[in-house]
Amino acid sequence: MTDHQTIAIQILDKPEFLKEKQILIHIQRWYPSKQELQEKGEDLVLPEGSNILALKKELASRQTEIIEQHIAVARPFSYQLKNKNTLSSLLNWELDSETVIKDGDLILFKDVKDKEVEIEGHRPQDGPKEGPRSVEVGLKIHTVYDAEGREKFEALLNKNKENQSEEPAKESTQEKNNENQTAEPKETTQDTTVQNPNT
């Protein structure tokens, strides 16, 4: 630790047992017909790399009121929770099932059978507000140790060898052309000596 370093401290209700390759998220339930948010949410531990589908399965196993098929989830910003009237109109409750959940995410969930109450000036939203649903695509890195990566590496290596073999041939051709251009023409001398007929 150093001087002037800011540290955040959280007081837990119970001991935390977070293992390696696990993430911690915070979940709260939204009640659409009542326009109420669960007063106090809870922390949930999930395996690293879990997606929305895995989260729904976990939520369904933790309670009996909502089955997995009727669970909808959203990822709000914390400031959006201050105005509960906008939770139904601004949030995207149709996240793609393959969307990866990140450590520290705030997640709201609701029962889709519990219909949203339309508040004047705030129309409930059934899907994404802007454009199509976004899908987080994982990045795959190939190395020489896997089949596809090794194949691409060998193809690149062979291409480099071909380019290197072509360069000496081009250089020798260029040198030969330069020699022909710089070669001086041979001079022919003609004997112009006139012999004296008297000698």
Domain ranges across the chain = 22-111, 140-173
DSSP bridge partners of 44: 25
> Is the pTM value of this prediction over 0.85?
no
DSSP bridge partners of 74: 108
Residue 128 confidence class, pLDDT cut points 50, 70, 90: very low
Across the range 57-71, mean pLDDT stands at 91
For a pLDDT cut of 90, what percent of the chain falls above it?
Answer: 25
Fold classification of 22-111 is Ubiquitin-like (UB roll) (3.10.20)
Mean pLDDT of the chain: 76
Q: The tokens of 102 are what?
A: 């990140």
Q: The tokens of 49 are what?
A: 């790399």
Q: How far apart are CA 28 and CA 50, in angstroms?
A: 18
